[in-house]
């Protein structure tokens, strides 16, 4: 990856504020990947459901050879290609901004060994050349930046998602292809969480699978718990991977 690799103790300079000439320049013409937890936080902040958020704000892109689509925030279709949440005063969803915006100008990668075991994170300091924030005096370590940006929960949820996402390196669709019923279920359980809740509570799902009563209660109202459950469900549904939250069908 381009950029300067940061160790735990490395320091980098950064401060973003409205007095800089580059203010608002970075929030346009982006390939901004949204992760499932980003969608949960944004749709709740905007007070709409996940279905409406997906149709209004995202592009779902299946790249050739991929087995699961990327979800990107849809930029404006004019020449500036501005982020839909950008205003003259800055980001209108700042308290709930996506993980990528929160970590910026740091990018994080996760390492897995040949056996698929996680081997920790790597970080790169990677502001674009025009970003004047990197010339400011304020110094950060990764830990201090994570705390300042209230990014710890986002980081944890993105790591969970990354662990599931890498399973899609192999084809799980059993001949149905990426437009089949199994793929639609996997997308719903990870990105369209309000639809997934309707499915859980309005079908025979909860009669067929064994789920602890206190978790069942949580799934009704707690989107983060539902998303974690959705990840576990996809693992079981597509690859038969068992987790603590859900047991195989009751006989």
Nearer to ligand SF4, 41 or 67 (CB): 41
Candidates 43-51, 62-70, 83-91, 168-176; binding stretch for ligand SF4 (CB under 6 A): 83-91
Structure tokens at 106: 């740091």
Q: Which of residues 24-63 bind ligand SF4 (CB under 6 A)?
A: 24-27, 32
Residue 247 in 3-state DSSP?
A: strand
Total interface residues for ligand SF4 by CB under 6 A: 21
Q: Interface residues for ligand SF4 in 157-196 (CB under 6 A)?
A: none
Nearest approach, Cβ of 4 to ligand SF4 (angstroms)? Answer: 16
Q: Does 23 participate in binding ligand SF4 (rule CB under 6 A)? A: yes
72 binds ligand SF4 (CB under 6 A): no
Options 5-13, 17-25, 161-169, 235-243: segment touching ligand SF4 (CB under 6 A):
17-25
Residue whose C-alpha is closest to residue 18's, from 71, 72, 82, 91: 91
Q: How far apart are CA 229 and CA 227, in angstroms?
A: 5
Question: How far apart are CB 197 and ligand SF4 at their closest, in Å?
Answer: 25
Report the alpha-carbon distance of residue 190 to residue 156 in Å, rounded.
Answer: 15
Pick the closer one to ligand SF4 by CB: 20 or 72: 20
Q: How far is the CB of 200 from ligand SF4 (least distance, A)?
A: 30
Residues 128-147 that bind ligand SF4 (CB under 6 A): 131-133
Q: Burial-class residue 143 by CB neighbours within 10 Å (0-12, 13-18, 19+).
A: exposed
Among 48, 72, 93, 215, binds ligand SF4 (CB under 6 A): 93
Query: Of 12, 57, 85, 233, which lies in the binding site for ligand SF4, with binding defined by CB under 6 A?
Result: 85
Alpha helices in 24-141 (DSSP H): 36-45, 50-57, 99-103
Burial class (CB in 10 A: 0-12, 13-18, 19+), 54: buried
Residue from 97, 103, 123, 228 touching ligand SF4 (CB under 6 A): that is 97
Judge contact between 226 and 232, C-beta under 8 A. no
By CB atoms closer than 10 A (0-12, 13-18, 19+), residue 236 is middle
Contact 211, 192 (CB under 8 A): no
Between 116 and 128, whose beta carbon lies closer to ligand SF4? 128
Residues that bind ligand SF4 (CB under 6 A): 16, 20, 22-27, 32, 83, 85-86, 91, 93, 97-98, 101, 127, 131-133
């Amino acid at each position: 990856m381009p950029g300067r690799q940061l160790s735990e103790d490395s320091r980098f300079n950064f401060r973003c504020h409205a007095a800089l000439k580059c203010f608002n320049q970075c929030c346009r013409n982006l390939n901004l990947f949204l992760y499932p937890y980003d969608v949960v936080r944004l749709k709740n902040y905007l007070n709409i459901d996940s279905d409406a958020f997906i149709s209004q704000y995202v592009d779902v892109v299946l790249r050739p050879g991929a087995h699961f689509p990327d979800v990107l925030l849809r930029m404006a279709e004019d020449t500036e290609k501005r982020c839909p949440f950008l205003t003259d005063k800055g980001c209108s969803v700042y308290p709930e901004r996506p993980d990528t915006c929160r970590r910026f100008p740091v990018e994080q990668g996760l390492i897995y060994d040949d056996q698929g075991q996680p081997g920790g994170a790597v970080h790169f300091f990677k502001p674009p050349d025009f970003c004047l924030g990197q010339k400011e005096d304020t110094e950060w370590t990764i830990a201090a930046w994570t705390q300042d940006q209230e990014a710890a929960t986002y980081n944890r949820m993105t790591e969970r998602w990354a662990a599931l996402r890498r399973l899609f390196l192999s084809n799980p669709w059993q001949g149905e292809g990426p437009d089949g019923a199994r793929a639609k279920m996997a997308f719903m359980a990870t990105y369209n969480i309000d639809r997934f809740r309707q499915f859980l509570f309005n079908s025979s799902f909860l009669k067929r699978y064994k789920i602890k009563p206190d978790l069942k209660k949580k799934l009704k109202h707690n989107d983060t718990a539902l998303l974690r459950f959705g990840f576990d469900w996809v693992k079981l549904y597509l690859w038969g991977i068992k987790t603590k939250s859900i047991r195989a069908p009751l006989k």
